[in-house]
Amino acid sequence: MTSIKAIVTKAGLDAHERGVHVVSRGLRDAGFEVVLLGLRTSPQTVAKVAVQEDCNVVGVSSLAGGHLNYAKKLREALDAEGVDPVVVFGGVIPDEDNAALQALGVQAIFQAGSMVTDMAEQIRELCNARDAGVHVDTEGTNG
């Protein structure tokens, strides 16, 4: 895979956006093509944009605690649109929610303070593995 297209957004009503801008710029600097959807983007809109943009990865930032509900609705919306990009979440996510997020198809979880270079490397590995048809065990992934 040469270029990875990432859609980056905020979960629900979360209005803390500095981190999502830092991550978006960092991914861009790491060679990703980034589509920043920004604040208050519904899971249905994310799924529709994922189809329109033919993205490889959807990254969701959550600092307000609505990550489980958002992930469930995002999975339903992606399934309804017939797309299955790599899905990653980042922000303030309690460790006890990791298993539930993974069950909803979230392949990596990055805590606040994660290095963007590490995020980019792990996302690139996940996308390359998906393209190669290799299952990547994300059990315990908490970048």
Note the pLDDT tens digit of each residue in 44-102.
Answer: 999 999 999 999 999 999 988 889 999 999 999 999 999 999 999 999 899 999 999 99
Domains in the chain with CATH codes = 5-131 (3.40.50.280)
**Three-state DSSP state, 85:** coil
The per-residue pLDDT for 64 is: 81
The per-residue pLDDT for 140 is: 45
Query: What's this model's pTM, rounded to 2 decimal places?
Result: 0.89
Distance CA 27, CA 129 (A): 18
